[in-house]
Amino acid sequence: MISAPNGTDSDGPDPTDSGRLPAIDVKGLGVRYSLRLTRKNTLRNSLAQFVRRDGGGGHFWALRDVSFTVVHGESLAVIGPNGAGKSTLLQALAGIIQPTEGEIGIRGRLSSLLTLGAGFDQELSGRENILLAGAFLGIDDSEIQRRLEDIVAFADIGQFIDAAIKTYSSGMRARLGFSIATSVDPDILLLDEVLATGDQVFRAKSKDRVLELAKGAKAIVLVTHDMHWVTEFCNRAMLIEHGQVIAEGQPEEIVRLHEERSEETRRGAAAPAI
């Protein structure tokens, strides 16, 4: 049985300076995608749009009017249906995409685990990929060299560490990615549906690691569809739908609300078919 790292806000972390100021402070965040510039654009489409003189499909708000704060020691779960904007939110927090409107304040060192091992170079060995990933994440080279053995040990990939990543199983790849991203002592950790990777043993181990990070007064934002994680381990939850915050509060309440709303949607979708 795993208990939440911190209870309610009142007996949270000490109200020191770092504790008082929120680790993440989001005000009126909006992210707009231009449908004109979506993937696999070709000159032909652009010319056609130019000739027709239309804006090319207009815009789409992936997130709108999103405001929330996360203090140190808190772990916030972000839940919602597919396409609600959860991943976009994490991308915006990580600085990968720029907000179209609103502000994002981040205090502390941030590490993101958005898709495990996406940045791996298939031809390079595990060890080389650790160094490369560290350099991409902006970690000091001496620091990553120092942590190399820890990362290898935690990922538990044994002698495969000097083999090319393309020979790894997807579980091994995920373990290595998790190990790298959590090795850097982040103040703020962003996790996107990554906890369900690996076998039972690694899953338990990664759960422990995340809890350990949370205990060290680290702020965590977690996107997941696994409601057990939300209620068991997060001390706050936020439900978003269609890019907007629907509700925010105690994990149990929010999960219940989410389940009710999903049930309604399912019934709504099923009704016309009857």
Partner 1 sequence: MGLIRVAWSDVWSRRKLIRYLVAADLKKKGRDTLFGNVWWILDPLLQMVVYVVLVSIIFGRAEDDYALFIFAAILPWKWFSSAIGDTITSVSGQDRLIKQVQFPKIVLPVAAILAGITQFAFGMVPLAALMLLVFPDRISATLVLIPVVAAVQLVFTLALGVLAAALNVFFRDIGNLSRHALRLWFYLSPALYGAAVINDVARTHPQIATLITINPFYPILNAYRSVIYEGTTPDWIALGGVLSVSLAFLLVATWFFKRVEPTFAKVL
Integer Cα distance of 87 and 115 in angstroms: 10
Please state the φ and ψ torsions of residue 20, each to the nearest 5 degrees: -75, -45
Q: Is 121 in the site for partner 1 (CB under 8 A)?
A: yes
3-state class (DSSP) for residue 9: helix
Q: 191 is written with which tokens?
A: 């996790």
Part of the chain binding partner 1 (CB under 8 A), chosen from 21-29, 107-115, 201-209, 255-263: 107-115
Q: Is 65 in the site for partner 1 (CB under 8 A)?
A: no
Least distance (Å) from partner 1 to the CB of residue 42? 5
* Residue 110 or 239 having the CB closest to partner 1: 110
Q: Is 75 in the site for partner 1 (CB under 8 A)?
A: no
Integer Cα distance of 34 and 55 in angstroms: 10
Q: 99 is written with which tokens?
A: 């907000």
Part of the chain binding partner 1 (CB under 8 A), chosen from 115-123, 146-154, 218-226, 227-235: 115-123
Applying the rule CB under 8 A, the residues between 195 and 254 that interact with partner 1 are none
* Residue 3 or 42 having the CB closest to partner 1: 42
Least distance (Å) from partner 1 to the CB of residue 160? 18
* Residue 222 or 239 having the CB closest to partner 1: 222
Residue with tokens 């989001």: 26
Least distance (Å) from partner 1 to the CB of residue 243? 14
* Residue 93 or 152 having the CB closest to partner 1: 93
* Residue 124 or 247 having the CB closest to partner 1: 124
Q: Is 15 in the site for partner 1 (CB under 8 A)?
A: no
Integer Cα distance of 232 and 35 in angstroms: 39
Of 218, 260, 241, the closest CA to residue 107 belongs to 218
- Other CB atoms within 10 A of residue 255 CB: 19
The residue from 119, 163, 216, 247 that contacts partner 1 (CB under 8 A) is 119
CA distance from start to end of the chain:
43
**Residues 20-39 as x/- pattern, contact with partner 1 by CB under 8 A:** -------------xx--xxx
Rg for the chain, CA atoms, rounded: 21
Q: Is 183 in the site for partner 1 (CB under 8 A)?
A: no
The residue from 8, 16, 46, 167 that contacts partner 1 (CB under 8 A) is 46
The residue length of the chain stands at 274
CB 75 within 8 A of CB 214: yes
Q: Is residue 27 classed exposed, middle or buried when 0-12, 13-18 and 19+ CB atoms within 10 A define those classes?
A: middle
Q: Which residues bind partner 1 (CB under 8 A)?
A: 33-34, 37-44, 46, 91, 94-98, 112, 114-115, 118-119, 121, 123-124, 128, 131-132, 135-138, 141
